[in-house]
Amino acid sequence: MATVVLTTFSTHDLFTSVWLHDGVARLIVSLSGLTDDSLPRGAAFAEALDARGVAVSQLYRPGAWEGWSDAPLVGWLHARRERGDAIVLHGFDHSAGPARVGRRAEFAALPRHEAGLRLRAARRTLGAVDLRTDLFVPPRWIASAGTVEALREQGFTMYADEAGVHRLDTPGAVRARVLGFRASGGRRPVAEDARAAEAWRCRVLVAEVARVARRGGVARINVRAKDLRKPARVEAALAAVDAALAAGAVPVTYRLAAARRAA
């Protein structure tokens, strides 16, 4: 991969050039929603990515419950971090309460103060089991302006939403839409056959990832724990990874976005 020398770029380009100026595509694969029950499927998927040389961005929501510090998932995340995965805070406790989150995405509409309280609680919980992180992805990939302010105040260095990856310690962002089975581009065909619709989702994911990689962009694939229950989706996600790698994409994690700083 060519070395990128940062010299005369603007503050915005100082970030984007690291990813895009060399013309090499990047691949980010994230895994979200894992629990102790879904851990075996998540571990199998991670091992399949290991075989391809692809580290995973582990999107983890610690929750407000007690007695979880010895959970198998926590130990597994420690082991995955040692293998190069990135730990990414993915919300805290998506339930009704003083913030009246209800059915909305947890950080989608919170003002700065309430977002800050949740972030501090989440970081204390993660710190108790040595899973500290300065990376953040909001549930459903939606963050309010108040959440972004709170993230910056608390020293987070990166957050990613549905549209791109954003630096918080310096100006800059990379536009790159997250791809997965929750929502994909294109027009869904009218079909009563659930299997036909599912096959369509899988084809779209592989095609979109391949297209982004061929154009030298940042291909972001998110796989949820519920996706791992469907073999067709697992197969499609791995096929999309293979397509990106075949197009020359370099696998990275969200940690790279936080680690890269202006020269």
Q: What is the mean pLDDT of the chain?
A: 84
The yes-or-no verdict on residue 6 having pLDDT over 70 is no
Handedness of CA 187, 106, 133, 226 (dihedral sign): negative
Q: Which residue has the higher pLDDT, 98 or 224?
A: 224
Cα–Cα distance measured from residue 51 to residue 37, given in angstroms and rounded to the nearest whole number = 24
pLDDT digits (tens, 9 = 90+) for 37-48: 999 999 999 999
Per-residue pLDDT at 70:
63
- pLDDT tens digits, 183-198: 544 455 555 578 888 9
Q: Please, which residues have CB within 8 angstroms of residue 247's CB and are 6 or more apart in sequence? A: 25, 210, 213, 214
How many whole angstroms separate alpha carbon 248 and alpha carbon 216? Answer: 8
Contact 107, 139 (CB under 8 A): yes
Predicted confidence (pLDDT) at residue 65 exceeds the cutoff of 70: no
Three-state SS for 227?
helix
Band (pLDDT 50/70/90 cuts) for residue 71 is confident
Sign of CA dihedral 142, 146, 152, 155: negative
